[in-house]
Amino acid sequence: MKKTIAVLKGDGIGPEVVDEALKVLKVIEKNYNHEFSYREALIGAAAIDATGNPFPKETLDVCQISDAILFGAIGHPKYDNDPTAKVRPEQGLLAMRKALNLFANIRPINTYQVLANSSPLKAELVQNVDFVVFRELTGGIYFGQPRGRSEDGNVAFDSCVYSREEILRVTKLAFEAAYRRNKRVTLVDKANVLATSRLWREVVKEYAKEHPEITLDFMFVDNAAMKIIQNPKYFDVVLTENMFGDIITDEASVITGSLGMLPSASVGDKVGLYEPIHGSYPEAAGQNRANPMAAILSAAMLLETSFGLTEESAAIRKAVEEALNQGFVTEDINRTKHYTTREVGDKVASLVKEMKAATV
């Protein structure tokens, strides 16, 4: 198979963790006789510094001619700590989602047995947690108009706007995933207060009538936030709007033991984007101590979701779990005995190579 992957390393620890994901992808190429070409482009603070634009046209062009996008992270203190900055790295991410119509964010929440004691929750609560969140990504309060400030600056306002079509297209993806899992979807909303949430319930209920095999239930977002802590094993497929999804997926990620363990996919009409859910973590940038596992697992999602390479994706996930079992972790997981970013990436790549050799 020949495919082109856009590589947007971004800011902070983004370049370091993406490099380890690329290391593993190159082993996959060799082991399975694939040929991936990699096209690098700028985004975020790095792009602002170079071009003045957090998502330059050159980067959009690279994304549009690629078959998938591997993305690191964006953000830098010089923009984060300046409330007057008119151009910000995060604007690049929002612009990319809109330009590429990446309307659904998919975040699997999985726990590993070896990391059970790393979770802030009791081990028995997090064992065998396995659910996935489908978050609508290009609508809602992050994009709604009008927004702004009053002339005197004392009042600010944002609009939460959703259309039936925006809701329906991500709902379809969530139900498709439910068929492959345990056939249960939980819609998370705030329908007791918000008109947009009531539209969500209406659209999802109508769609569910066409799929009687799927069990659909509803949960207010505040209740869902509590349930994720009290009983995370309750969930199978979670469907929600943009801001609620942003919040509850970050909450859910913590129960796994480390933000550095969870990948994500953003999909739409054509090209898919794959990224670790963590931020740019500028305090650790360039120090070779960031956890590359989420970026490596994002590469696994890329192979399966965009390229249909299920065996190759499974090999990476198995290698990650085996590396964890052997204690090859970064300092965020084990502060007394840990390895560097590159050492963990080397270990996963080596295990992927060994697995293929064992089957020949």
Identify the burial level of 243 via C-beta atoms within 10 angstroms of its C-beta, where 0-12 means exposed, 13-18 middle and 19 or more buried.
middle
Residue 222 annotated in active site = yes
Considering the candidates 246, 346, 353, 356, report the single residue annotated as catalytic: 246
Nearest one of 178, 161, 248 to 213, comparing CA atoms: 178
Considering the candidates 190, 207, 281, 339, report the single residue annotated as catalytic: 190
* Rounded Cα distance, 320 and 253, in Å: 17
Considering the candidates 98, 130, 142, 183, report the single residue annotated as catalytic: 142
Identify the burial level of 253 via C-beta atoms within 10 angstroms of its C-beta, where 0-12 means exposed, 13-18 middle and 19 or more buried.
buried
Residues in contact with 116: Cβ distance below 8 Å, sequence separation at least 6, in sequence order: 123, 126, 127, 257
Considering the candidates 80, 130, 250, 346, report the single residue annotated as catalytic: 250
Q: Which residues pair with 188 in a beta bridge?
A: 219, 240
* Rounded Cα distance, 261 and 310, in Å: 20
CB 262: neighbour CB atoms within 10 A? 24
Residues in contact with 198: Cβ distance below 8 Å, sequence separation at least 6, in sequence order: 191
* Rounded Cα distance, 22 and 37, in Å: 11
Residues in contact with 333: Cβ distance below 8 Å, sequence separation at least 6, in sequence order: 115, 118, 257, 258, 260, 291
Residue 250 annotated in active site = yes
> For residue 94, is it left (φ>0), alpha (ψ between -120 and 50) or beta?
alpha
Considering the candidates 30, 57, 122, 222, report the single residue annotated as catalytic: 222
Q: Are 161 and 139 in contact (CB under 8 A)?
A: yes
Q: Which residues are catalytic?
A: 142, 190, 222, 246, 250
